[in-house]
Amino acid sequence: MRSVSIIGIEMTNFGRLEKSFKEIAAEACVGAMQDAQVPPKQIEEFVLGNFSSGTLVQQETIAPAISNSIGLPRIPATKVEGACASGGIALRYGYQMVANGLRDFVLVAGLEKMTAVSTPKATETLIEAEDREIEGRTGLTFPGFFALVTNRYSQRFGTTREEIAQVSVKNRRYGAKNPKAQFRKEVTIDDVINSRLIADPLRLLDCCAISDGAAAAVLCPTEIARKFSKEPVEVIGISQVTGRGAAFEYEDLTGFDSTKLAAEQAMRMARVSTKDIDVLELHDCFTIAEIVASEDLGFFTKGTGAKALQEGQTEIGGKIPINPSGGLLSKGHPIGATGIGQVYEVVQQLRGSAENQVSDAEIGMAHNFGATGTVCVVSILKR
């Protein structure tokens, strides 16, 4: 198999965008090709991560629609879907094509336009990522699921409401400096715990927001990457794992098998350990999700993630800087775009051009998590 590198990236602003889904996608895709200095005629395949375009923008067959709109009319164009991990899956598919020698240049992207429908409709759509025959008809939403995780974690490890709220405080502080983030205002612990109740004990500022946005990357064989980019970033590890499909299937709601296994497989492939990772973009869909995932990924032992946060170990300059972009809690969460958006942020860090730069970052990780842990993609990148 060939080594694969990212030679071009772009990401739109995340938030309520007054643009069509094609315009949003074009901004990211064309920008990534320009960054890679690769003209459209050289792109051999297009892979799009997208969750629910049929419901949210009334457009199925969305990958060919976008491919045609950006001047890629006759190449294979395929949508892949795995709830919130759709973008990570797109990266993995593109990686496999290049690694196996099937293609030399692949454009991968993630897209979601969510604000064209009402919040209740968007919430109803998100529930479609659950197993409809098991939990989807019970009324359990994703805030409800992660509220269960929060309560169980707090009961088991004695973690306080204020400690969990600190995740939002940290990420909103970083997000305030990210020009592409949906929310660019710092918050306090009191702001978080006094914000509107969503699913007890989770409050509004514990939850990421529905958003519009897109991100894209151009992949090619590492051996020719420097012909196109002065700062190529190699994909040295990537893994996708299927986890459990419903809350009742977990013996312990304080951890997720899919994250643990995906991290183990990706690090084994990359021949690195957690000690080698300099920066981590982690799927903080809710405040508790960052704490739990930081443990599942192997950076902290079970039950110590909140303490590590309080000690500053997840800050820039700490043991493992987590979400210096501001994460989903600041950037927003346009479902299909998030996974590639995380990769965009890691590449920026490894290029040394991030807004909240981690000093001398050489290896970064992206953790893209979908549904109730039903799917997880972990990617490891190296400059």
Check whether residue 177 and residue 163 sit in a common domain.
yes
* Residue 376: active-site member: no
The pLDDT, as a whole number, for residue 136 is: 66
Q: Does the residue 12 lie in any domain?
A: yes
260/302 Cα distance (integer angstroms): 12
3/97 Cα distance (integer angstroms): 11
142/278 Cα distance (integer angstroms): 30
Q: Does the residue 124 lie in any domain?
A: no
Which of 29, 333, 367, 376 does the annotation list as catalytic? 333
The pLDDT, as a whole number, for residue 138 is: 79
241/348 Cα distance (integer angstroms): 26
Check whether residue 37 and residue 164 sit in a common domain.
no
Quick: pLDDT tens for 175-211: 999 999 999 999 999 999 999 999 999 999 999 999 9
Structurally, the chain folds into a number of domains equal to 2
Check whether residue 216 and residue 243 sit in a common domain.
no
Q: Does the residue 82 lie in any domain?
A: yes
Within 8 A by CB and 6+ apart from 102, the residues are none
The pLDDT, as a whole number, for residue 247 is: 86
Check whether residue 160 and residue 298 sit in a common domain.
yes
Check whether residue 346 and residue 367 sit in a common domain.
yes
Check whether residue 27 and residue 90 sit in a common domain.
yes
Check whether residue 358 and residue 254 sit in a common domain.
yes
Q: Does the residue 130 lie in any domain?
A: no
* Residue 84: active-site member: yes
Q: Of 136, 139, 113, which is closest to residue 55 (Cα–Cα)?
A: 113
The pLDDT, as a whole number, for residue 326 is: 98
Quick: pLDDT tens for 64-118: 999 999 999 999 999 999 999 999 999 999 999 999 999 999 999 999 999 999 9
Percentage of residues of the chain with pLDDT beyond 70: 100
Check whether residue 198 and residue 325 sit in a common domain.
yes
Give me the residues of the chain with pLDDT under 70, please.
Answer: 136
The pLDDT, as a whole number, for residue 133 is: 81
Which domain CATH number covers 243?
A: 3.40.47.10
Residue 245's domain comprises 138-207+237-382
Q: Does the residue 335 lie in any domain?
A: yes
Q: Does the residue 173 lie in any domain?
A: yes
Residue with tokens 């946060």: 309
Extract the tokens encoding 88: 């990570």
Q: Of 185, 135, 190, which is closest to residue 329 (Cα–Cα)?
A: 185
Q: Does the residue 127 lie in any domain?
A: no
Check whether residue 148 and residue 217 sit in a common domain.
no
Region label for 97, one of left (φ > 0), alpha (ψ between -120 and 50) or beta (otherwise): alpha
Q: Phi then psi for 216, rounded to 5 degrees? A: -150, 160
pTM above 0.95, yes or no: yes
Which of 84, 208, 220, 376 does the annotation list as catalytic? 84
Check whether residue 35 and residue 176 sit in a common domain.
no
Centroid of chain to Cα 185: 21
Check whether residue 188 and residue 336 sit in a common domain.
yes
Check whether residue 154 and residue 280 sit in a common domain.
yes
Residue with tokens 């996974």: 339
Q: Does the residue 128 lie in any domain?
A: no
The pLDDT, as a whole number, for residue 153 is: 98
